[in-house]
Every structure is written in C-alpha cells, then in structure tokens.
Amino acid sequence: MKILIANLGSTSFKYRLFDMDGSSSSMIASGGFERVSEYTPCIEKMLEDLVAEGHLASGSEIDAVGFKTVLGKDLSGCVDADEKVLAALEGFKEVAPAHNPAYAEGIRCFERLLPEVRRVALFETAFYQWMTPAAFSYAIPQAWRDLGIRRYGFHGASHKFIAERTAKLFGRYDVADRVRSLYVDGPGEFSAEPFRVLSCHLGGSSSVTGIKNGLAIGTSMGFSPQSGLPQNNRVGDLDSMAVPYACKMLGIEVGEAERQLNKESGLLGLSGVSNDVRDVREAAAGGSEEAKLAIDTLVDSIRHWMGSFYFKMGGAEVISFTAGIGENDVELRSAVCAGLEDLGVHIDQAANEATIRGKEGVISTDDSAVKVVVIPANEELVIAREVYRQVSKD
C-alpha cells in the first residue's frame, strides 16, 4: 500500500511517500518546498516529480494521503479527511492560524487533483482522547466551555510513538499492542502491572506528556500550541491577567500583544539572541545572563511538568527524550535529570554524550530503577502507520 504523507506548514510543504504492509514499511521518496504561499502548485509539482522519478506510474497509484492536522472543533482522532474535517478546521482556525487554513487548502487540493484517492486526517489531539475530564477541563464559565475551550494537547503522533516504542524496548509488549491498535479498537480493559512513561518532546515546539499503560493521562500543552513549556518564540504558560495589564501599560492592542506572545517570546524573548536553543546555549557559554536564564527556564518548566505527571501516575518506569533538542542537547538532558537519584534516576554520562544525531539509546545506568532513553522522532512514519491501519480496517 502506497501512502503519501503531506506535511503542510504555514510557509512550507514537505512530503514522504511510504510503501506499507502489515509487517514492514519503507520510505520510497521525500521532498519539500519552502517559502510557500500557495499549495496547489507545490502539490502538482510533487506529483509530477514522483512520476518522472519513477516512484509512481501516476498519482492514482497512491492508496491514501495522510495529513497531520493540528486542531479541529468538536473533532479528533484518525478520521477520513472529508467535509466534516474541513468544517472542524474552519471552526478553530483562529486558535491555530498557522496550521488549520494550510491543511484545509491542502485537503481540498488533493480532492481536486486525486478525487479517487482516500484522504485521512490524524489530529495532533488524537492521543489525548482518553484523558479524564479533570485532566482536560479549565475552571472557566460554562459558556466558555461550550465554545470548546479545554486542554487538548499536541504532538500526539510523537508521544504515541514514544508510548509504543518504549514499551517494546523494555519488553512490555502488552502495552505496545494496546498503543498500536488504540485509534482502531480503542483502549479496552487493562489490568497488568503499570508501565509509566514521562515523554519529553523537545524541539522548536515542546511538550511533556504523562503516559500510563499506553494512554496519555495529562500533557503540558492546553487549548492551543501557545501554552505549556517556553517554545522557540512562543510564550508557553502565562497568567491571563498579564495580557490586559501589558496592553494598558504599553499602550498596545490585544492583537499586537498576541503577535508578540507568538513571535517575540519563548527562548527568543528571554535570551534576546535567538529562538534556536543552539544559538542560545552558545550565547550562555559566552557569558550572556539572559541566554542562561532562557535555558534554565526551559529546564525548570520541563521538570515542573515531569514532576506533576510523576506524582499523578504514582511513579515512572521510563523518561524519554525526543525531537531536535531532546535528541541532541546532552547538557539539557543532564540538567533535567539532575538530582533525581533518590527517585531512582541515574544517568550514564558517557552514554548520554554518545547518544545524539538521530541515535536511539538508553542513557541511564544499568542499575537505574527509572530508565532514561533517547528516541529519534519520525512523525511522518507514525502518521503513515496510522493511516495504513485506518484504511486496512475497512
């Protein structure tokens, strides 16, 4: 089965073509376009290239196109990308303005160009469908909740992959099987010994999720990708009273305050140097106190959320790091795990320093009660697997 994954950013279009079957998968082709203002010419060029390079006889040879949709109003899960999905994206376009309009345009484009090819949307919120109301509810008036304002969570494909992969790594195949079929069969009953993971997706956009027996019990991101940890240039968590106060004192409108919180905050706002943690760390090493504060604040926020989910789950068997920062920043991983020896976390510094640039590895000592692992992210493959399962079940 040939599955194309379309990753539509606010100004980019990237794709990967996979050949999938029940036991294996291989990537046939990949590519992308930057500085995109219209997606139709890019999608047309992609299809032309895939045929010209011999990967496809024609576009109709594709069995399904998968989309990593972010946030839908009153809709989540792994579902056919139909009019219901388009309406859900439209309903929350103000909440995810960089993503929802792009995915809506992309879905419509594929519908025009390849009307017979199945389209499947995997919402980033899907992994959090089974959180309890206490975990996803805000203490706001009913009228606000009726608008759909609640904690949704994001990076769902990444955290679901971590749930399955960590279970396999440490021999919990019962948990891995549960995670694998989650969107098709639901969670079902589970009564075995607990398997608890603190999953840290740390990159340009970051989140921490607590995973118990393959299900998310809580996550740092909330109503929008704006919340949770300090992001590259997004603020993360902020007291709601800060916005009207800043508007009044700085003489700015709410729209300008929102722009600053989305574009000039996070690591960039704290460091004054860059939104890239590598540049920020270099500035900190050079003596910049603001850059050091940015790194320290990120570490503190990661530990804050990890501590919350550790307490809620009653412990943890695994701490996992993934995505660009999680996979490559040795110092940050050490700082996050520092001083946790009494909780059974012992880092093997040599293994930690050796595990970078796309390597998977255990970076805790053999006698560490809590295992610490680095797992490379591959969200496109995760989406391809879920699309394959969704199409195969029919």
Binding residue per annotation — 14?
yes
Give the CB-side neighbour count of residue 53, counting CA atoms within 13 A. Answer: 12
Whether residue 90 is annotated as binding a ligand: the answer is no
- Residue 21, SS3 per DSSP: coil
User: What one-character-per-residue DSSP string does 169-233 give?
Assistant: HTT-HHHHHHHHTHHHH------SS--EEEEEE-SSS-EEEEEETTEEEEES--SSTTSSS--SS
Residue 325 marked in a binding site: yes
Q: Does the annotation place 327 within a ligand binding site?
A: yes
Strand partners for 18: 3, 27
Known binder of ligand: residue 68? no
> How many whole angstroms separate alpha carbon 71 and alpha carbon 221?
12
Calpha distance 139→204 (Å, rounded): 29
Is 362 annotated in a binding site? The answer is: no
Instruction: Determine phi and psi for 294, rounding to 5 degrees.
Output: -60, -45
75: helix, strand or coil: strand
Say how many C-beta atoms besides its own lie within 10 A of residue 369's C-beta. 13
Between CA 206 and CA 203 the distance in angstroms is: 5
Short-list 183, 215, 184, 224, CA closest to 73: 224
28 is in an annotated binding site: no
Q: Which two tokens stand for residue 61?
A: 């040879």
- Among 263, 305, 318, residue whose Cα is nearest residue 10: 263
CA–CA dist 155, 207 (Å, integer):
7
**For residue 130, what are the contacts with CB-CB under 8 A and spacing of at least 6?**
187, 215, 216
Query: Residue 337's closest CA among 325, 350, 352, 322?
Result: 352
Strands 215-219 and 196-201: unpaired
7 is an annotated ligand-binding site residue: yes
Tell me, what DSSP letter sits at residue 55?
A: S
The verdict on whether residue 342 carries a ligand-binding annotation is no
What are the binding residues?
7, 14, 276-278, 324-328, 379
What are the binding residues for ATP?
14, 276-278, 324-328
What are the binding residues for Mg(2+)?
7, 379
